[in-house]
């Protein structure tokens, strides 16, 4: 399969229409973040070797890390900022594995991908406010980002307990909770968001017409994105999160 990649460098201001009322484009004076920035297509200033967060989030994380360290927890960043291009690579690798290696139909493969991975251009990791973290003191084999490893008796149980009790003091909140009625992405006990930055960024994101913008992309599987799929994806995966972060 020939790889199709497409990165836009031109301005997309004015592209957002009003096809999805909830994502109507804001008036110019209300915009704090550009469309390119929200979609991970604009270079932003990041801080901290191995941390890669916006300055305010970086400083808050270091304070939280210091506090956790005094309680025997070593907060280790597994993933933080991701560009559009990086998310595209993750998406296409999974899409090819599910469709070519495992023989899944495209729509089923897409549903499988969005259990844990975002559509490129819609990831909170594009914003420099979100991190995937674990306890670096624990030696864990295999994939560390497995929900069961954060539960009772798991290697990250103490980490999860500490975060539940303390992360809010530093502005960090779990994004994809284990609330039974929550839809969209599955429970991610490792994914935390720095609310003072991510809340206004989500507000700005909700005002752009992501349907129109995604229709101009050409990564694997994007040709199967219908209006209904994008509306449901935004409603369930982007917005059905920890209500504190809305």
pLDDT digits (tens, 9 = 90+) for 79-95: 999 999 999 999 999 99
134 — phi, psi (to 5°)? Answer: -140, 180
DSSP 189: T
Q: Is the Cβ–Cβ distance between 159 and 135 less than 8 Å?
A: yes
- C-alpha to C-alpha distance for 194 and 131, rounded to whole angstroms: 8
Q: Which residues contact 204 (CB under 8 A, 6 or more apart)?
A: 26, 31, 32, 33, 38
- C-alpha to C-alpha distance for 131 and 2, rounded to whole angstroms: 33
Q: Which whole number is the average pLDDT over 63-82?
A: 98
Residues of the chain with pLDDT > 90: what percent? 87
DSSP 29: G
pTM: 0.87
Q: Which whole number is the average pLDDT over 18-24?
A: 37
Per-residue pLDDT tens over the stretch 116-144: 999 999 999 999 999 999 999 999 999 99
Angle among Cα 122, 128, 134 to the nearest 5 degrees reads 100
Q: Which residues contact 228 (CB under 8 A, 6 or more apart)?
A: none
pLDDT greater than 70 at residue 108: yes
Sketch out the chain's domains with CATH numbers. 21-245 (3.30.1380.10)
Predicted local distance difference test score (pLDDT) of residue 191:
98
Predicted local distance difference test score (pLDDT) of residue 13:
34
Nearest to 73 by CA among 150, 179, 129, 128: 150
Structure confidence at residue 15 as a pLDDT band (50, 70, 90) = very low
Predicted local distance difference test score (pLDDT) of residue 133:
98
The three-class DSSP label of residue 174 is strand
């Amino acid at each position: 399969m020939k790889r199709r990649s497409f990165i836009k460098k031109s301005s997309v201001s004015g592209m957002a229409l009003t096809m999805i009322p909830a994502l109507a484009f804001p008036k110019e004076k209300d915009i704090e973040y550009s469309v390119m920035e929200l979609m991970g297509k604009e270079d932003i200033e990041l801080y901290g070797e191995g941390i890669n967060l916006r300055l305010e989030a970086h400083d808050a994380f270091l304070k939280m890390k210091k506090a956790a360290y005094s309680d025997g927890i070593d907060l280790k960043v597994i993933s933080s900022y991701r560009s559009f291009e990086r998310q595209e690579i993750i998406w296409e690798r999974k899409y090819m594995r599910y469709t070519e290696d495992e023989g899944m139909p495209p729509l089923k493969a897409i549903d499988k991908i969005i259990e844990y991975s975002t559509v490129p251009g819609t990831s909170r990791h594009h914003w420099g406010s979100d991190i995937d973290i674990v306890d670096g003191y624990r030696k864990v084999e295999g994939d560390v980002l497995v929900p069961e490893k954060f539960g009772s008796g798991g290697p990250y149980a103490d980490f999860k307990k500490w975060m539940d009790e303390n992360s809010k003091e530093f502005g960090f909140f779990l994004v994809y909770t284990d609330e039974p009625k929550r839809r969209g992405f599955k429970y991610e006990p490792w994914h935390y968001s720095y609310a003072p930055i991510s809340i206004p960024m989500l507000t700005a994101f909700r005002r752009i017409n992501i349907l129109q913008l995604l229709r101009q992309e050409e990564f694997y599987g994007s040709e199967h994105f219908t209006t209904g799929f994008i509306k449901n994806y935004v409603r369930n995966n982007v917005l059905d999160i920890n209500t504190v972060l809305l």
